[in-house]
Structure 1
């Protein structure tokens, strides 16, 4: 799976996390210990943290004059990993042109630094056309989760939990008539339609609304570790969530949204009287260790801030006041890697089952047959995916309802959506 993921560009850090000639940033991605730095000209380098001379960490190096200089012997490397100075070696014995740090290709787009960790650094593939990442000024936030990337991701493609974990204590009287969560409160047991797609797997959870229309919550798994969740209003907002593996038991979420409306309703929702449905995430200050970025103050160590009295009285179904921490709690409570043999999957878990199989077969096809990873050579495939909730004619299929919504939705980026397959 690691080799499979390395076929793709992946988010590494926020652009704001590194500044010209500023402190290097420790990154752990795909079990590799890396550093990121921005040089004097504004270019970003991401490379193995070990100096290729004697393996001292370049994290303690000097970021200066368009390169990172090791403090051990002064050897200096540019963002491409080329050794550009070897001051501790006599000039007649200098061999800097033969020395390279292990460096990866990087790109920046709309507030995100991306890295390509594939074997062919000379010919990286094009960047994926994921719509939310193509918005000029998106809302981006990060969060570290202490579990395997797929385990973390699966919460995003399971919509039947929303009626309990997130809104289990709400009634219809608590919400405005046009609140996007209202159909979920009306009917907490949706049915599913799941389809394989070129970009991964797509589902539509459907339930009759009380106005005679069908309520759809449409979402996607996109290769290799992306989701689009259905809490947005489909017509006016784009979302993408990357679950980047730090190592086998830790992952980093990059949540990217943007639209013509004011904020993602999953985080900004209020009751009818204006009371916020959820608290905001509380972070601990970032530190410089390998697992020190974007950590919540609430974790297993304080039971994710659960308030048993609020749970008993129905203030929150879980007693956990933040919606993301509700997801964090149940996902991390499974342990760092879930024992799937203990599960009993239900019909409402078919999206999870299909996604597991889809990604496993794609990884095996690359390993065993050399079949290209889906979407790597065709980045526009990802632009066809759009998630969100909407109401539609109950007589219309998911495919037709989805296409009709795409045709009237506000879109970002230069691509034109093609019919879903």
Structure 2
């Protein structure tokens, strides 16, 4: 159980809050690259309670500026892309991606007002289909050599979705290994041939056992949590009998991402990024270790649930998440369809806009959440003292942050730790891009 003060510290994300100060010290996902496709690559963005305008200039450079013009506060999200920047419609002031004022056309030529004006701007980089921005002070941390960033574009796919709740409760569902046996329980198993692009719908590695069968029939995993260079590693073990153990390894990447297996071939790296205190986007990179990702199929699957342009769920609290009592009796534990994103959305949104953690009673199965909150609170306090927090790394440190391993498989008479490490290594050796990256690391 958390105190009210600790809950406030962890959940509030405004620019003057302790939690917001911590998150601003890391790169934050701000949009999908595809959101700037089309004839006018300009987009209004709200991130951690602040308003910005994101754009791509005529040379293909990305910029993120404060949304309101420094002249008289008009909305730059309606600006025109021309002459190497974004031009305000009110008086024609023109700003480059780095915030430089290029023109103030209504001023006499000898005044040079633009030399004394600068719009606040923030660095933007593209990684695997996501645009990340840095809102903090000083030098941003380097990107780690994680699989989602090392894999070629052909083997990654990025998407996002909106949750109407605080970012922390949305993140915590991803470091809760026991919930899948209930929230994501299916009463019948799909054919593996129909599982592409769907989580918990295929077979566990090194077996022909459906993941849905394992979750349904073995609902009390033994959970292990250990520190890792990037945050935390969580291992959930389910004893299947006959010297067989279901091993699921997931990861918390500090401060607000997790890496989990989607199938034997694909992993998901997912960030929960605050829009404000009571809304967040999940951003995910799906990374394939076998064939190139079928991006058209992956996108079509997700657009069955999410509506553009805001990537909002068609099933939500306003239509009871599509709840169907007959389905709940016959097909799924929730009665809310077969897309686990809906299940997760219901679970975290039903806790309220900001979960009141002073009222909860945590158990042994929540040890990952307990460890993460302790790490989060310690890091918030450390940054407030001017100290470093986890994953505030430079280029040399980032090169050594690889993987992380994320496995869902069944070991046969082998210790869990040995099994998942061997399974991860076998998958990398069989994957052209992963084995090449591993060789490059050894040479370095």
TM-score, length basis structure 2: 0.82
| 1:362–1:381 Cα change, 3 Å | farther
The answer as to whether partners of 2:142 and 2:398 remain within 8 angstroms in 1 is yes
After superposition, the Cα gap between the structure-2 partners of 1:281 and 1:357, relative to the gap in structure 1 and judged at 3 Å, is farther
Please say if 1:303 is aligned against 2:334: no
Over 3 Å counting, the alpha-carbon distance change for 1:166 and 1:280 in structure 2 is farther
Residues 17 and 315 of structure 1, relative CA distance in 2, 3 Å threshold: same
Q: Match for residue 374 of structure 1?
A: 391
Name the residue aligned to 2:15.
Answer: none
Contact persistence 2:87–2:93 (CA under 8 A): yes
Matching residue within 359, 363, 376 for 2:376: 359
**Contact 1:380–1:415, Cα closer than 8 Å, also in 2:** no
Tell me how far 1:171 sits from its aligned partner. 7.0
* Structure 2, unaligned runs of 5 or more: 1-18, 193-201
Alpha-carbon separation, structure 2, partners of 1:20 and 1:88 = 31
Establish whether residue 315 from structure 1 lines up as the match of residue 334 from structure 2. no
* Contact 1:375-1:382 within 8 A present in 2 as well: no
Contact 2:407 2:423 survives alignment (8 Å)? no
Specify which of 411, 421, 427 is matched with residue 403 of structure 1.
421
Give how far 1:130 is off. Answer: 2.7
The aligned counterpart of 1:167 is: 185
Say which is worse superposed, 70-79 or 91-100, in terms of deviation: 91-100
> How big is each residue's C-alpha offset from its partner over 1:204-251, in whole Å with a ceiling of 9 and x where there is no partner?
000123552211111011011101124432xx3332001111111111
SS of equivalent residue, structure 1 residue 91: coil
Tell me which residue corresponds to 1:285.
308
- Shift in CA distance, 140/202, structure 1 to aligned 2, threshold 3 Å: same
- Asked whether the equivalents of residues 81 and 100 of structure 1 are also in contact (C-alpha less than 8 Å), the reply is yes
Tell me by how many angstroms 1:283 deviates. Answer: 2.5
| Residues 113-142 of structure 1, C-alpha deviations (whole Å, 9 max, x = no match) | 11111112xx43322333223322312111
- Aligned counterpart for 2:236 among listed residues 187, 195, 205: 205
Q: For the Cα contact (< 8 Å) 2:251–2:259, is it kept in 1? A: yes
Residue 127 (structure 1) aligned with residue 143 (structure 2): yes
1:402, distance to aligned residue in structure 2 (A): 3.5
Deviations 1:350-378 (A, max 9, x none): 11111111122122112125134434323
Alpha-carbon distance in structure 2 between the residues aligned to 1:296 and 1:263? 27
Please name the residue that 1:272 is paired with: none
Structure 1 segments of 4 or more deviating over 3 A? 170-178, 260-264, 278-281, 411-419
Aligned partner (choices 341, 344, 347) of residue 364 of structure 2:
347
TM-score (norm 1): 0.86
Distance 1:338 1:51, change over 3 A: same
* Deviation of the 1:379 alpha carbon: 2.2
Q: Residues of 2 paired with 1:82 and 1:171: CA distance?
A: 58
Flag the 1:225–1:5 CA change in 2: closer, same or farther, 3 A.
same
Out of 375, 385, 389, the position equivalent to 2:404 is 385
Counterpart check, 1:216 vs 2:241: no
1:181 aligns with 212
- The match for 1:271 is none
Contact 1:243 1:254 in 2 (8 A): yes
- Structure number with the higher helix fraction is 2
Shift of 1:108: 1.3
Q: Is the Cα contact below 8 Å between 1:143 and 1:254 reproduced in 2?
A: yes
CA RMSD after TM alignment: 2.8
